[in-house]
Amino acid sequence: MNRKVVLITGTSSGFGLLSSVALLREGYYVVATMRDLGKAAALKQAVREAGLSLADMEVQALDVTEEAAVQTVVDDVLARLGRIDVLINNAGYAHGGFIEEISMDEYRAQFETNFFGAVAMTKAVLPSMRERRSGKILMISSISGRFGFPGMSPYTSSKYALEGFSESLRHEMRPFGVSVVLIEPASYRTNIWAKGIERGGEIDSDSPYAPALTKMAAYAAAMNDRGSDPREVITLISRVLQDPRPVLRYPVGKGLKPLLFLLRFLPQRLVDRMVAKRM
């Protein structure tokens, strides 16, 4: 395989689907993975609508929470294509709710996909990238990896973990020419926030958190409606892949950089007041 190979997880929708199409257009051979191949129709349709050939990509079933399956897919790609130049760890979901009412199993499930799945994928590709002294690993993180939003603690916790892991990984891989990058989107029209609140289940009117959850659900829906075009994130991903020396973190989204500046320098009590107004 003379073309660069990119392996992307979670490609049935959202950033995964869009990045698959964009990178196919840019000449990559795309290995698009998703947990349920029954949802592959949307990706294939998007490829056809873009005037691209399905022969220049492949779609594989992969549940990133199954470590053996992760290793099998990576080994298969390396055996057939000889290389994986780029890994985009995109698979993930958001679980909403207030901490007291979220089960430990729900926390573990969130981490299995959002964090441990990315760790497993990364570990599987590292030997080949290290030996070739070349490669890029992109983690689709979130602004939630910088700030703990109320009502989304499983998700924010998993993204904080991903951020720390990626920073350590970047230092470890730098001597081997492998770049590690965090993409940190704000609110985009991908439905992840609204789905996250829904995943927490129907709001129990008897819950002491019912008023706050109702507000959070409305806020999540509004943010999704007002969210930016997700293609902005795809443009950023393309730019990062073209950069021979990418930095670690790329926050992206409306008003995100000023917000991060304020969060860095504002006293915590003022941040608390800002958040309280949303609840």
**Catalytic (active-site) positions:** 155
CB atoms within 10 A of CB 199: 18
Residue owning tokens 């549940």: 63
Instruction: Give the C-alpha separation, 279 to 277, whole Å.
Output: 6
CB of 96 closer than 8 Å to CB of 103: no
* Residues 6+ away with beta carbon under 8 Å from 84: 5, 6, 7, 31, 74, 77, 78, 125, 128, 129, 135
Say if strands 249-252 and 86-89 run parallel, antiparallel, or are unpaired. unpaired
What tokens appear for 179 in the block?
């770049």
Q: What is the number of alpha carbons within 13 Å of residue 103 lying toward its C-beta?
A: 6
Among 68, 88, 8, 70, which residue's Cα sits nearest to residue 40?
8
* Residue 228, phi then psi, degrees to nearest 5: -75, 170
